[in-house]
Amino acid sequence: MFTFPMFTKAKSLFAGCFLMTATLFANPIDPVTTASFNTCLYITKANKIHLAIEKITAAPITITLRPLGAGQPCIFRQCLGKKQAKLALRLDVSELVDGIYELEIKSATGQTIRQIELATPARQTEVTRRIVFAPFSGSDAVLSAK
């Protein structure tokens, strides 16, 4: 029948086929998807939002600005087409009411939501100071120059 060396070859052949079929049908637990765009966002002291978007894949992107909360009306919306690769925006939001706003950048593969807090800078009150020198009326106040 089987000699000892043939039996070990059959075992290793069976184990190799078993492992190969197991790896062929395996699904990853957390499939990695790359973002379809990169964003850069900052707000100046003058309440201007600077936004830069660079697309990685050719997919349309929608940019929306609205007050935080469900059912709030959209203040700003712009669509970035499939063929446009980059976008740079400067939004002047100095006329908006102070509060928290939501900037949503959305594509077919994912979305980025940033919360933005707008606040009017506190006004500095001008301080006026007056310094008054009162003359001394005593013997100590008279200095003699020699």
CATH number at residue 112: 2.60.40.3080
If one counts the domains in the chain, the total is 1
**Cα–Cα distance between 93 and 59 in angstroms, integer?**
28
| DSSP 8-state class, residue 43 | E
Tell me if 2 is assigned to some domain.
no
Tell me if 27 is assigned to some domain.
no
Tell me if 25 is assigned to some domain.
no
Q: What is the pLDDT along the chain (146 residues), one digit of tens a residue?
A: 555 555 566 666 666 555 555 444 444 555 455 568 889 998 888 888 999 999 988 889 999 999 988 788 899 999 999 889 999 999 999 888 989 999 999 998 888 899 998 887 777 777 777 777 777 666 555 555 55
**Cα–Cα distance between 49 and 90 in angstroms, integer?**
6
Task: Name the residue range of residue 100's domain.
Answer: 37-118
Tell me if 9 is assigned to some domain.
no
Tell me if 5 is assigned to some domain.
no
Token duo for residue 89: 């925006």
Tell me if 113 is assigned to some domain.
yes
Distance of CA 30 to the CA centre of its chain: 24
